[in-house]
Amino acid sequence: MTSAVDRLFRWCRQIFTPLADPFPPTEALDDAVAEDTLIYRLRRWPQLPSASMNTDVSRTLSVMSTRPVNRRWILNNSSLHEHEVDSMLQRLVEQDAVEVTDAAKYRPSAA
């Protein structure tokens, strides 16, 4: 559960940083989120149920239409919950409305 200070910090970062960093430092993230390497870019506007089309979803889809984002970025820059983000991404993939790229293949190999 986030504290009021965390929420205020997140709100300030959204307001005062246009298009906040899509890849924030991973130190503060748990292992499950740090493993998130899929990047999504909207190909076409999807058909989503009207009940799920709120301001946060519209704003997120708008950003996704102009640049690639990952799940972590969506969670950090919208007030959507994890299950809502996962459901939205699943629908987008099922409709073939997003281009999905695995960023892990672009990481330098450990030598």
Establish if 94 belongs to a structural domain.
yes
Q: What is the pLDDT of residue 17?
A: 52
Establish if 18 belongs to a structural domain.
no
Of 26 and 81, the structure prediction assigns the larger pLDDT to 81
Burial (0-12, 13-18, 19+ Cβ within 10 Å), 1: exposed
Of 97 and 23, the structure prediction assigns the larger pLDDT to 97
Establish if 82 belongs to a structural domain.
yes
Q: In total, how many domains does the chain have?
A: 1
Q: Give residue-wise pLDDT tens across range 48-80.
A: 888 778 888 999 999 999 999 999 999 999 989
Establish if 7 belongs to a structural domain.
no
State the CATH number of the domain containing residue 71: 1.10.10.10
Establish if 93 belongs to a structural domain.
yes
Answer whether 23's CB lies under 8 Å from 70's CB. Answer: yes
